[in-house]
Amino acid sequence: MIGFMNCMQGLLDRTRAIDFLAPLALRLYLVPVFWMAGSQKIAHMDNTIDWFGNPDWGLGLPFPSLLAHLAAYTEAVGALLLLPKDFWGLLLQIARRLSPLNSDLSAG
């Protein structure tokens, strides 16, 4: 029985090398969901404010303008923050290569 348990523990220990995949997959799944929700709210802010404030067919929330802006920008910025840090490093490298300041420095 102890040998079986040690074998199972060994199998579980080997899976630790890929234990980051499930959270990464969830984050990558949620990025476009939050981005689309936030960007649609921002693009149609008047309709979003009406929906947040109307008690008959909407949510009937107090301060609908404030809450609609908070919800929209929280979703949009939250989507960007869910991106993996490797993405931000890659984006920074691309920005540095495309920067006109960088080309001026290398020419002089």
Tell me, yes or no, whether 73 lies in a domain. Answer: yes
Residue 108 in this model has a pLDDT that exceeds 60 = no
- Residue-level pLDDT at 107: 52
Angstrom distance (rounded) from CA 48 to CA 61: 12
Q: Which residue has the tokens 């984006």?
A: 91
Tell me, yes or no, whether 2 lies in a domain. Answer: no
Tell me, yes or no, whether 67 lies in a domain. Answer: yes
What residues have CB less than 8 Å from 61, skipping those under 6 apart?
52, 53, 67
pTM over 0.85: no
Tell me, yes or no, whether 12 lies in a domain. Answer: no
Q: What is the pLDDT of residues 17-36, one digit of tens each?
A: 888 888 889 998 999 999 99
Mean pLDDT of 97-107: 65
Mean pLDDT of 85-94: 82
Q: Which of 67, 47, 43, 66 is nearest to 57 (CA)?
A: 47
- Residue-level pLDDT at 32: 94
Tell me, yes or no, whether 6 lies in a domain. Answer: no
Q: 85 is in which domain, residue-wise?
A: 22-107
Tell me, yes or no, whether 8 lies in a domain. Answer: no
Number of domains in the chain: 1
Tell me, yes or no, whether 17 lies in a domain. Answer: no
Residues 28/79, Cβ–Cβ less than 8 Å: no
Residues 76/38, Cβ–Cβ less than 8 Å: yes
Q: Look up residue 98 and give its two tokens.
A: 């495309």
Tell me, yes or no, whether 75 lies in a domain. Answer: yes
> Percentage of residues in the chain with pLDDT exceeding 90?
57
